[in-house]
Amino acid sequence: MAKVSKTNAMRILDKEKIPYEIKTYEYDESDLSGVTAAEKMGVDPNTIFKTLLLKDEKQNPMVCVIPVNQEISLKTLASQSGCKKCEMVHLKELLGLTGYIRGGCSPIGMKKLYPTFVESSALSLSQIGVSGGKRGIQILLSPQDLIKITNAKTFDNK
């Protein structure tokens, strides 16, 4: 594996002494899907989680982390997060709100610590992958450590 320069997410994990592994893969601008990333890394897509940025009815950002092979249930997330409704943030807002670009948005190390919700299936796994903060980089860590570092709550995306 080529040497990977540290991302903000990695620096935060290092500072907090949270163990993690890095997995890299070749990405294609035309297909930034997490399922494709999982296939390229040779791992089960149920263990790789994507980071979604949403806004509640008051336009407050919130972060959702779900397996790459799932679609978010906006009604379920709204209900379980205590807001009336939520919607995806427009792509043009992503960089300004998080400091990350599409395909490289990590739940760790955003510009602000937004309310974060991790899909509960993560708890049944010893390790999950999330974006490392750049396209082509995944951070593998325990779901409990991800929840701790992001101050997240779990939810059932059903």
State the distance between the two ends of the chain, measured CA to CA, in whole angstroms: 37
Partners of 64 in beta bridges:
52, 117
Q: For the whole prediction, is pTM greater than 0.85?
A: yes
Instruction: At 50, give phi and psi (nearest 5°).
Output: -100, 155
pLDDT in tens, 68-93: 999 999 999 999 999 999 999 999 99
